[in-house]
Amino acid sequence: MSTRLATGGRLIDRSKPLSFTFDGRSLGGFAGDTLAAALLANDQMLIGRSFKYHRPRGILASGVEEPNALVGLGQGPRFEPDQRTTTTELFAGAATVSQNAWPNLDLDIGALNNLAYRFLPAGFYYKTFMFPRFAWKHLFEPVVRLSAGIGRVPKDRDADRYEQAYDFTDVLVVGGGVAGLAAALAAAKGGQRVLVLEQTAHWGGRAPVDGIAINGMPADAWVAETVASLAALPNVTLRRRTMAAGVYDHGYVVAQEAVADHLPGADLPRHRLWRIRAGRIIAATGAIERPLAFAGNDIPGVMLASAARDYVVNWAVSPGDRTVIVTNNDDAYRTALALHDAGLVVPAILDARAKAAGELPALARARGIRVLEGRGIARVKGGKRVKAVEVCAQAGEGAVLETIACDCVAMSGGFSPVVHLYSQPGGKLVWDAANGMFTPDPARAPTGADGKPFVTCAGAASGALQAADALADAHAAGGGEAAQAPRAEAAAEAPMQPVWMMPQGAPAKLRFKMWLDFQNDVKVSDVQLAAREGYESVEHTKRYTTLGMASDQGKMSNINGLAILSDALGQPIPATGTTTFRPPYAPISFGAIAAEARGEIFQPLRRTPMHDWHAAAGAHWEPVGLWRRPYCYPRGGESHSQAVNREVTNTRQNLGLLDASTLGKILVKGPDAGRFLDMLYTGVMSSLPVGKCRYGLMCSENGFLIDDGVVVRLADDAWLCHTTSGGADRIHAHMEDWLQCEWWDWQVYTANLTEQFAQVAVVGPNARKLLERLGGIDVSKEALPFMAFTEGTLAGIPARIFRISFSGELSYEVAIPASHGLAFWKACLAAGADLGLMPYGTEALHVMRAEKGFIMIGDETDGTVIPQDLGLGWAISKKMPDYLGKRAQERSHMTNPERWKLVGLETLDGSVLPDGVLAPAPGANPNGQRATQGRVTSTYFSPTLGCGIAMGLVRRGPERIGEVLEFVAAGKSIPARICDQVFYDKSGEKQNV
């Protein structure tokens, strides 16, 4: 059984006991424990169940590569599934639950799959579940989904907060092991800014566990000294608990700092997402040990040799009383030594190599540990925990030579450099056959903006697995001179021998029990099946078997799987290739990625100066771009539609007030401004007299209508262009594009003044009276006729008044400096109380413009409509030789007389046509779809007319006035007559009074 040792544990503080729960059971640990260490200390070998067969799963590793020991952590709004126990620092009160087991971990009904394992090989679902046809969706898939999935679904909104930060550095060192520290020190001495990230809470990595000496002192001491020197340098920043998740192009790195995972309840952001721009990246990310593939290698109690050593040395946790070591390399002997020296029993070391003659085996033998050469494991005996191993000859087919009772198996299949950060931005790898690993290919490193390599692997990550080599390599990567490199003293290691399957001649029965991907239940037999079936690319095999697709993303399984596949295909590993590493290196929280952008500040909110007044007046909001505009202002229990009708009627009969501040306002100025606007608009703007307004249409170069609005000539050389509310930034950019890139020699200046001015539309028969009361500017018909502009001081506020109308009523749009917007709005309200003044919202605006037959960009247009379709020929100059979109509008499809054109539509019964409804034409098109001849673009109830009104695009529409079309909605036919699109005040008297 696993238990806490009486002494030792370099990372734990025995004076700080902590209690936590697992599946409701109260357990104890110490400060400094990981969850995994604490669980093991309590003999909790069984942590969860696997994905497909629901096999018992224990702790396999001690770090970020752990595929099995995932738990649900926390409760309520702080519950998180799939939390990796090996990287989670223990905290007081941590509530953890096992995953993927029902009704409970020990008695999981899903484990029935395990009995049927032979019937559920890789890809069995591709070959089955096809009949009857509906059964996949209704029967099979729900079962598959329930059985899979592992973690429980959080139920509540996250109670924690997250934040993001930027950093910039010349050199980013990823990894705070001895290689990373050596590289950082060397780089820092050159004076460059250096940032060092370490994913755990501790500096030093594996070296202190491995008992290495550096520069004549124990690794722990060297690490402490080096960290202290680095911390003292002004150009160095050290960050622990920060994992570099992804390296992107041009030196961009995303890292996640676990700020408060270990301090729940502290008033801190839980995670901080760092966005780092680095000149150069040194990936001192170490190497990860590989499992060996033998039958029963997934039974709880089988773990990586390095992990077993970590638990003993770092946390004083014994993984078992009797641990059998199985290895193909010397490093695992360190585990034997560590366990033995902690007073634990190592009954045997099974070394797959024919000879174990190095320094480390000699040390083991000297302690009286049995070393069996050329041996492997035929089978691990046990169910929910290891009971014994059956020993066989590695060279054979699994005949059992001996059975050794044990409760832990520590395995080592060699090490794989962590090359993820090098590979992510495009770095390529080479296969090192002697050491059975992929290493970075210096000739094909990822390149940056300057075309030069910007990621270097250092230490074990570059394949320098021995401590002395690793330090020298890292020191050089940091730019240090060879003579000054830190010197490591460690036992020399004899070469490893790649072993991909144990024993090498294992029959199918054993291969069906050899796990490669522990979480996803992919076995040697599955990969071999994939190869047999022609899924020969490593990507095919991955996808067919799900190898490496689990939440460890292949850290445990990729190389072993690749080797088995290559063997099955009879080709060397490099010929099979490797898969591409993708960000993130290990999972990072969506919370950190989204950070503060939630709720009200999900996106920036643009507010007009009157925004708060609208809110206080009970406005029902409508999002318009990043703005929020009042849709209507319901009063005392009114429905929205009642409010809209009231606002329309009141505006038409008395006086309405609209906050039009969101309208785009772009100043275009300069000697060539008129010429420029003539190119931008379909109509002539250069001829507009000063003080006058003109409606204009803007098209894309592709001919389609993109925006409209009133253009005002402010002065000889200055025009003010109004755009749609959503369009100001886009249109301003559009203007600048043409000005800077095409007509760059024209003297024109543009400025987007949208937020500099508040704008208020004063609309209705009493509009003039109100402005006269406000006083200061003559707004009489003579002084300020329709489509004219003036400026002066109104109500004591500097104001521009445009006499334009989007409602058909007598209407003035008043622009005032934004800082006076609210004051002016209130002044209007105060002065207009007895004139029947009421504010109105966007929907009333829409209804009134539709009653008047005015188009709305986005309703009458949809990116397929040209001005000619909308009866706006009067706004298109025939004389101008060129404007943006003119050539496009000459193309055959654009001049086709069959195009759908704008008309008015009135239902025969006065009802309101549904939004977007279409009118079928006789027959069907060649694809069997009903032919159509028109559609509704805008449809409203008109309170003014007391019936429904609509506009629509109809094939040859204007030629068919009076004709009745049948529109179809939900199978029902609605007859509507084609009519003039102007429903209200056709002669335009009202706006012209």
Partner 1 sequence: MRRYSVFAVAREALRFHAGWGRAWAAPEPKRKYDVIVVGAGGHGLATAYYLGRNFGIRNVAVLEKGWLGGGNTGRNTTIIRSNYLQDPSAAIYEKARSLFETLSQELNYNVMFSPRGLLMLAQTEHEARGYKRTVHANALQGVQTEYIDAARVKALVPIINIEGPRYPVLGALYQARGGTARHDAVAWAYARACSDMGMDIIQNCEVTGVRSAGGKVQGVDTSRGSIDCDKLAIVVAGNSSVLAEMAGFRLPIESLALQALVSEPIKPAIDVVVMANTVHGYMSQSDKGELVIGGGTDGFNNYTQRGSWHHVEETVRALVETFPIISRLKMMRSWGGIVDMTGDRSPILSATPLGNCFVNCGWGTGGFKSIPGSGWAMAELIAKGAPGPLAAEFGLNRFREGRFIDESVAAGVAH
Partner 2 sequence: MLTLTCPCCGVAAEETELAPGGEAHLKRFGPGASDEDFEGYLFARKNPKGVHFERWRHAMGCGKWFLAARCTATLEVFGTYKAQSPEPPPEIIAAIKARRPDWKGYS
Residue 857's binding partner among partner 2, partner 1, none (Cβ under 5 to 8 angstroms by kind) is: partner 1
Helix, strand or coil, per DSSP, at residue 749: strand
Which residue from 582, 514, 520, 522 is spatially nearest to 551, judged by alpha carbons? 520
Interatomic CA distance for residues 938 and 847, integer angstroms:
9
Phi, psi for residue 730 in degrees, rounded to 5? -65, -45
Candidate ranges 214-222, 412-420, 496-504, 531-539; the one touching partner 1 (CB under 8 A): 531-539
Q: Which does 635 bind (CB under 5 to 8 A by kind): partner 2, partner 1, none?
A: none
* Contact window for partner 1 (CB under 8 A) among 60-68, 143-151, 369-377, 744-752: 143-151
Q: Which of residues 736-765 bind partner 1 (CB under 8 A)?
A: none
Q: Interface with partner 2 includes 117 (CB under 8 A)?
A: no
509 makes contact with partner 1 (CB under 8 A): yes
CB atoms < 10 A from the CB of 248, how many? 13
Kindly tell me which of 346 and 936 has the beta carbon lying closer to partner 1. 936
Whole-number Å distance between alpha carbons of 814 and 771: 10
Residue from 20, 22, 30, 79 in contact with partner 1 (CB under 8 A): 79
- The three-class DSSP label of residue 223 is helix
**Binding of residue 155 to partner 1 (CB under 8 A):** yes
**String of contacts with partner 1 for each residue 921-940, x by CB under 8 A:** ----xxxxxx-x--x-----
Using rule CB under 8 A, residue 153 touches partner 1 = yes
Residue 148 touches partner 1, criterion: CB under 8 A: yes
Annotate 722-759 with b (16+ C-beta within 10 A) or e (fewer): bbbbbbbeebbebbeebbeeeeeeeebebebbbeebbb
Contact by Cβ (8 Å): 194, 171 = yes
* By the rule CB under 8 A, 582 interacts with partner 2: no
Residues 6+ apart with CB under 8 A from 653: 764, 765, 836
Residue 969 in the binding site for partner 1 (CB under 8 A): yes
Q: Would you count residue 277 as binding partner 2 (CB under 8 A)? A: yes
**Which stretch, 259-267, 484-492, 650-658, 738-746, contacts partner 2 (CB under 8 A)?**
738-746
User: Residue 69's closest CA among 90, 89, 99, 92?
Assistant: 99
Identify residues 702-721 at the interface with partner 1 (CB under 8 A): 702-703, 706-707
Contact between 740 and partner 2 (CB under 8 A)?
Answer: yes
Tell me which of partner 1, partner 2, none is bound by residue 447, counting a contact when its beta carbon lies within the kind-specific cut-off of 5 to 8 angstroms.
partner 2
| Of residues 295, 347, 357, the one with CA closest to residue 323 | 347
Interface with partner 2 (CB under 8 A), residue from 123, 347, 374, 426: 426
Contact assessment for residue 137 and residue 248, using Cβ atoms and an 8 Å cutoff? no
- The yes or no reply on residue 744 touching partner 2 (CB under 8 A) is yes
- One of 12, 150, 255, 287 touching partner 1 (CB under 8 A): 150
The residue among 593 and 982 lying less far from partner 1, judged by its C-beta, is 593
How buried is residue 42: exposed, middle or buried, by Cβ count under 10 Å (0-12/13-18/19+)?
A: buried
Q: Which does 588 bind (CB under 5 to 8 A by kind): partner 1, partner 2, none?
A: partner 1
User: Is the bond preceding residue 881 a cis peptide, omega within 30 degrees?
Assistant: no
Q: Is the CB of residue 705 less than 8 Å from the CB of residue 894?
A: no
* CA atoms of 319 and 336, how far apart (whole Å): 12
Residue 164 CA to residue 160 CA, distance in Å, equals 14
CA atoms within 13 A on the CB side of 771: 32
Collapsing DSSP to helix, strand or coil, 833 comes out as: helix
* Residue 582 binding result from partner 1, partner 2, none, given CB thresholds of 5 to 8 Å by partner type: partner 1
Neighbours of 13 (CB within 10 A): 12
Largest CA distance in the chain: 114
Which residues between 354 and 413 bind partner 2 (CB under 8 A)? none
Rank residues 511 and 803 by Cβ distance to partner 1 and give the closer one.
511
Least Å from the CB of residue 471 to partner 1: 32
Shortest spacing between CB 520 and partner 1, in angstroms = 8
Of the two residues 328 and 725, which places its CB atom closer to partner 1 in the complex?
725
Q: How far apart are CA 693 and CA 697, in angstroms?
A: 13
Rule CB under 8 A: choose which of 249, 359, 397, 909 binds partner 2: 249
Burial of 366 (C-beta count, 10 Å sphere; 0-12/13-18/19+): exposed
Q: Does 701 bind partner 2 (CB under 8 A)?
A: yes
Dist CA 184 CA 237 (whole Å): 10
Among 637, 834, 971, 987, indicate the residue that binds partner 1 (CB under 8 A): 971
Binding of residue 452 to partner 1 (CB under 8 A): no
Q: What is the dihedral of CA 579, 535, 549, 325, to 10 degrees?
A: -80
**Structure letter (DSSP) for residue 664:** E
The one-letter code for the residue type at 468 is A
Asked if residue 959 binds partner 1 (CB under 8 A), the reply is no
In whole angstroms, how close is the CB of 661 to partner 2 at the nearest point?
23
Closer of 279 and 836 to partner 1 (Cβ): 279
Under 8 Å between Cβ of 32 and 54 = no
**Cα-to-chain-centroid distance, residue 58:** 31
User: Which of the listed partners (partner 2, partner 1, none) does 882 bind, with a CB threshold of 5 to 8 Å by partner kind?
Assistant: partner 2
Q: Is residue 970 within the footprint of partner 2 (CB under 8 A)? A: no
Residue 250 Cβ vs partner 2, minimum distance, rounded to whole Å? 5
Q: 77 near 3, Cβ under 8 Å?
A: no
Residues 395-434, mask of contacts with partner 1 (x by CB under 8 A): -----------------------------xxx--------
Question: Least distance to partner 1 from the beta carbon of 597, Å?
Answer: 5
Q: Which residues lie below 8 Å from residue 740, measured CB to CB, with a gap of 6+?
A: none
Report in angstroms how near the CB of residue 707 gets to partner 1 at its nearest.
Answer: 7
State which of positions 433-452 bind partner 2 (CB under 8 A): 447-451
Q: Is 569 in the site for partner 1 (CB under 8 A)?
A: no
Given the complex with partner 2, which of 201 and 888 has the nearer CB atom? Answer: 888
Q: Would the CA dihedral through 619, 623, 628, 630 be positive or negative?
A: negative
- The C-alpha angle with vertex 365 and arms to 364 and 369, in degrees rounded to 5, equals 75
Name the phi and psi angles at 709, rounded to 5.
Answer: 160, 170
Residue 30 backbone phi and psi in degrees, to 5:
-125, 155
With CB under 5 to 8 Å by kind, the binding choice for 598 among partner 1, partner 2, none is partner 1
Applying CB under 8 A, does 80 fall inside the site for partner 1? yes
- Compare residues 727 and 821 and give the one whose CB is closer to partner 1: 727
Using only C-alpha atoms, what is the Rg of the chain? 38
Binding of partner 1 at residue 486 (CB under 8 A)? Answer: no
Nearest approach in angstroms of CB 196 to partner 2 is 22
Shortest Å, Cβ 339 to partner 1: 33
Q: Which two tokens stand for residue 515?
A: 């796990």
Give, for 955, the enclosing helix (H) or strand (E): strand 947-955
Residue 534 binding partner 2, by CB under 8 A? no
Residues 647-676 that bind partner 1 (CB under 8 A): 663
When binding is defined by CB under 8 A, the residue of 16, 25, 118, 250 that contacts partner 2 is 250
Does 893 interact with partner 1 (rule: CB under 8 A)?
Answer: yes
Name which of residues 822 to 881 contact partner 2 (CB under 8 A).
Answer: 881
Check: CB of residue 822 under 8 Å from CB of residue 609.
yes
CB of 64 to partner 2, least distance (A): 24
Does residue number 587 form part of the binding site for partner 1 (CB under 8 A)?
A: yes
Query: Contact between 726 and partner 1 (CB under 8 A)?
Result: yes
Determine, following the binding rule CB under 8 A, whether residue 986 of this chain makes contact with partner 2. no
Which stretches of the chain bind partner 2, using CB under 8 A? 248-252, 277, 426, 447-451, 701-702, 733, 736-737, 740-742, 744, 881-882, 886-888, 890-891
